[in-house]
Amino acid sequence: MTTTMSANESRVAVGGTEVQMFSGGSGPPILFLHGAGGNRGWQPFHQALAANNTVYAPSQPGFNGTERPDWLATITDMAHFNQQMVQQLGLDQYVLAGHSMGGWIAAEMAAMSPASLKGLVLIDAVGIRPKKSDITEIFMVSAQTRAGYRFHDPSQVPDIEELTREMTPEETLVDFSNREMASRLLWKPYMYNPSLPHYLPKVNIPALVLWGRQDAIVPLECGELYNQALGNSKLAVIDQCGHSPQVEKPKEFIDHVTGFLAGLK
């Protein structure tokens, strides 16, 4: 697992926890929450979004360079922690975006405090249990199998060689720690909160639910259920794309998100 260390990295004190933060750009704020694989640092899609926005991309507690507070054990705890971080950063009327696990955290945060948000972007998010299919089990399979689930067509992924190279011993330790934290948060019940669909109808801010049509981990049905539950949302589907459209189909991803952002002005 590669974490890009750069001048974009800083630390933000949230209570007694030092949060690893990557940020850049200028303009209206976007808070982007990573998925269960952890935070790979400042990425090309962050940079693209930062062309017209200030983008914040924190490492969640227990992932990468952020320690887990003793009290934090659930996704709802994560959402409360992030609300405290938002206050520390002084964000208001910001756009909240999250991928996979980060999308679940973002959905819970939106239900807690919709008035503070200008918009919500959920990208192949877990959190809602599908009715006609299943979320794929990713913790009891090999790293190679997990990697195979992530992309529909690895040949179309920019820098796929870097993403799939053998990890260094240090990266292996970080990856193991990230997976341990993800399993702590996501295992029972597996990848969903049964109450979440009941929280979401009151979230009436503009929302974009963005999905890879061929997502082999979180089925498109989950995107449809999010779109149905939210009060003011649009579902956009990227064809020939798996679980990580921001990496596999970056141009289409940026086009959808920037178009959504333009509509908020």
- Block residue for tokens 């992309």: 151
CA distance 102 to 58: 11
- Candidate from 21-30, 139-148, 220-229, 253-262 with smallest mean pLDDT: 139-148
Domains of the chain by start residue, with CATH: 9-262 (3.40.50.1820)
How does strand 54-58 pair with strand 17-25?
antiparallel
pLDDT in tens, 176-223: 899 999 999 999 999 999 999 999 999 999 999 999 999 999 999 999
Q: Taking the model in full, what pTM does it have?
A: 0.94
- Block residue for tokens 């599908």: 130
CA torsion, points 59, 61, 63, 68, in degrees to nearest 10? 150
In 3D space, the residue among 102, 100, 93 whose CA is nearest the CA of residue 57 turns out to be: 102
Cis previous bond, 189, omega within 30: yes
pLDDT at 3 > cutoff 50: no
pLDDT of residue 7: 58
In a 10 Å sphere around its CB, with 0-12 CB exposed, 13-18 middle and 19+ buried, how is residue 184 labelled?
Answer: middle
In 3D space, the residue among 181, 226, 182 whose CA is nearest the CA of residue 207 turns out to be: 226
- Arithmetic mean of pLDDT, 53-67: 97
Which distant-in-sequence residues (6+ apart) come within 8 Å of 44 by Cβ?
A: 158, 250
pLDDT in tens, 34-59: 999 999 999 999 999 999 999 999 99
How does strand 9-14 pair with strand 17-25?
antiparallel
